[in-house]
């Protein structure tokens, strides 16, 4: 199976123990955030969580460029995996930065007026969006860099090979709860 990326190059999924995965390396410049977004959107075209994961990929890619060494002439890698039915994950690996990724505190819209906009935090809001959009997210160190990931899940049909013993009433059981 092969998917075409928006830039026209072929992206070949690599079989892993957990399922399919696609990876692409991007130069560490802000214009590449849109390319990373298109890459994820193309691969997750039929995915119910596509929009949420595209938003997460955008935030994580921008963070890689703005807050890590990737934005100083480096690069970042975006990986899309589908580890099991009903789950998709995006991961962004960067060259590492001086601080650990953390979601900023929520902003109370009722207490912010136009004069206070300049006082809003400038860091952590993107990860707060990731935390709100994804089923779960996290990060881990990868050598000199770090990987930040977001995972989304959705309900899937479960087909039983056979009926479970508790799915049917025992022989002689009546609907009223008494014995036959």
Check whether 158 has a pLDDT greater than 90.
no
Looking at residue 63, its pLDDT comes to 92
Q: Provide the strand spans (E) within 31-165.
A: 75-84, 87-94, 136-142, 145-153
Check whether 127 has a pLDDT greater than 50.
yes
Share of the chain above pLDDT 90, in %: 49
Fold of the domain spanning 3-167: Heat Shock Protein 90 (3.30.565)
Give the tens place of pLDDT for each residue, 76-126. 999 999 988 899 999 999 998 877 776 665 555 565 555 555 554 555 578
What are the extents of the domains in the chain? 3-167
Burial of 153 (0-12, 13-18, 19+ CB in 10 A): middle
Alpha-carbon distance of 58 to 134, in angstroms, equals 13
CB-CB contact of 61 with 76 (8 Å): yes
Nearest by Cα to 70 from 122, 107, 25, 109: 25
Check whether 27 has a pLDDT greater than 90.
yes
């Amino acid at each position: 199976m092969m998917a075409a990326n928006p830039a026209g190059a072929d992206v070949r999924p690599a079989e892993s123990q957990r399922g399919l995965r696609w990876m692409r390396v991007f130069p560490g410049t802000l214009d590449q955030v849109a390319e990373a977004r298109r890459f994820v959107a193309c691969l997750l075209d039929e995915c119910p969580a596509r929009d949420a994961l595209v938003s997460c990929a955008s935030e994580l890619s921008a963070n890689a460029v703005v807050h890590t060494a990737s934005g100083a002439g480096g690069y970042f890698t975006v990986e899309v995996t589908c580890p099991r039915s009903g789950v998709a994950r995006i991961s962004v690996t960067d060259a590492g930065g001086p601080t650990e990724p953390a979601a900023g505190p929520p902003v109370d819209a009722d207490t912010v007026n136009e004069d206070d906009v300049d006082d809003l935090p400038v860091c952590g809001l993107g990860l707060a969006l990731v935390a709100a959009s994804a089923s779960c997210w996290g990060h881990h160190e990868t050598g000199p860099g770090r990987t930040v990931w977001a995972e989304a899940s959705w309900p899937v049909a479960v087909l039983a090979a056979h009926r479970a013993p508790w799915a049917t009433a025992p022989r002689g059981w009546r609907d009223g709860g008494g014995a036959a």
